[in-house]
Amino acid sequence: MAACRSAGACVVAVALLFARGADPRAQAVSRSAAVRLDPATVILNAFESYRVVSLGEGPHGNEQGHAFRLSLLRDPRFAAVVNDIVVESGSARYQDFMDRWVLGEAVPEAELLRAVRENTVTPTPAWDRPMYDEMFRAVRDINTSLPRDRQLRILLGDPPINWSEVRTADDYRTWLLRRDSHPAELIQREVLAKGRRALVVYGDGHFQARRERPGRSLVGILETAGTKVFTVTSTFADLSPFQKDVAGWRTPWLASLKGTLLGAAPYETFFGPPPPVDFFKAHPLIEDHFDAVLVMGTASEMRLAPLEYPHCNDPDYARMRRVRMELAGIPVASDPQRLSRECAAAAPK
């Protein structure tokens, strides 16, 4: 938007932009083209200025994001700058087991790794994929080559729900409401208070609304308390309408958002309709919520890792999932074949 000749002219210009469906804030600043950056280098260099770096998973279970995270963990630079990896895909009830296991102790691995993933607050099969165990095993393997004072720690960020004590929807809601506050408290206690640095791997929604006060998202809570967090959203969204040349960039690629053409992309390009609250109305752009974007491919290229098979055909497992989904208010009765379809998709071809 060109400079206004008068205050009245500015009001008219902004009104016209609203009428055309444009966001006046995106138009009012001079924006530069985003530059393709190496994702691992940007994320690791961010630890020079930030104690906490958050990396969105993108759609839970996507294989491209998993492959990138494995390569990041195995990068020789990683263990030199990172101490802890905070994950959404594990229940804090099993932190003692995880601490001993990643340091190489002999424990009943298969049974307990499954419990770590299955017994989170999330009632659906979101984490019931072997790919999450593969990440845990990668950390254990990396630790075998590191001195004790540099070995990596996995912090299980999901609240320590005990499903045997959850009998009503209200019981469940108590735990559901802690899914951001619990990992924020964990990071403050186990990372920041100990002078350590953490990579946080969570669903992207836990990182948005960072400037909302009081903070409600994981990152919002941390930043309210004074800890600045570098935030990366991972996506398969088509960003070429905002900058044409990104269509030809080799994936995965990362770009900074603030003040760039990509930063002016609306929130809904990444996540669909925003929550109908004043904060999101006042912060409609993706740069309002994240520092950088990691693009892992196109929507048609996204691959979801399979669920465990044949474990997911176990009647006891299926019953457990249905009971938990019903307690969480997910209408399983209206879609009784949901779990069966997901299990069928996981079957070996």
| pLDDT digit string, tens, across residues 142-178 | 999 999 999 999 999 999 999 999 999 999 999 999 9
Residue 267: is its pLDDT beyond 90?
yes
Instruction: Indicate the pairing of strand 253-256 with strand 292-295.
Output: antiparallel
The pLDDT, as a whole number, for residue 274 is: 92
| 148 contact partners, CB below 8 Å, separation of at least 6 | none
The pLDDT, as a whole number, for residue 343 is: 75
| 151 contact partners, CB below 8 Å, separation of at least 6 | 102, 103, 143
The pLDDT, as a whole number, for residue 6 is: 34
> What percentage of residues in the chain have a pLDDT greater than 70?
89
The pLDDT, as a whole number, for residue 11 is: 30
**Across 11-25, 111-125, 220-234, 323-337, least confident range:** 11-25
The pLDDT, as a whole number, for residue 314 is: 84
Distance, C-alpha 231 to centroid of its chain: 10
DSSP annotation of 179 reads T
Contact 260, 286 (CB under 8 A): no
> pLDDT class for 341, splitting at 50, 70, 90?
confident
How many angstroms separate the CA atoms of 294 and 273, rounded? 21
User: What does the pLDDT look like over 188-237, one tens digit per residue?
Assistant: 999 999 999 999 999 999 999 999 999 999 999 999 999 999 999 999 99
Mean pLDDT of 109-131: 90
Residue 138: is its pLDDT beyond 60?
yes
Residue 7: is its pLDDT beyond 70?
no
Average pLDDT, the chain: 89
Mean pLDDT of 116-142: 94
The pLDDT, as a whole number, for residue 201 is: 98
> What percentage of residues in the chain have a pLDDT greater than 90?
75
Contact 157, 87 (CB under 8 A): yes
How many angstroms separate the CA atoms of 318 and 339, rounded? 7
> pLDDT class for 340, splitting at 50, 70, 90?
confident
Residues 309, 161, 151, 290: is their CA dihedral positive or negative?
positive
The pLDDT, as a whole number, for residue 1 is: 34
Residue 15: is its pLDDT beyond 50?
no
Residue 4: is its pLDDT beyond 60?
no
Q: Which helix (H) or strand (E) holds 256?
A: strand 253-256
The pLDDT, as a whole number, for residue 2 is: 36
The pLDDT, as a whole number, for residue 310 is: 73
The pLDDT, as a whole number, for residue 22 is: 44
Contact 87, 156 (CB under 8 A): yes
Closest by Cα among 293, 125, 276, 330 to 207 = 293
How many angstroms separate the CA atoms of 228 and 50, rounded? 7
Q: Which fold has domain 39-305?
A: Rossmann fold (3.40.50)
Note the pTM of the prediction, 2 decimals. Answer: 0.88
User: What does the pLDDT look like over 83-105, one tens digit per residue?
Assistant: 999 999 999 999 999 999 999 99
How many angstroms separate the CA atoms of 287 and 267, rounded? 9
Q: Provide the residue type at 293 as one letter.
A: V
The pLDDT, as a whole number, for residue 348 is: 65
The pLDDT, as a whole number, for residue 261 is: 98
Mean pLDDT of 239-246: 97
Give CA separation, 236 vs 34, 64, 257, 270, in Å: 17, 10, 16, 8
Residue 50: is its pLDDT beyond 70?
yes
Mean pLDDT of 286-315: 90
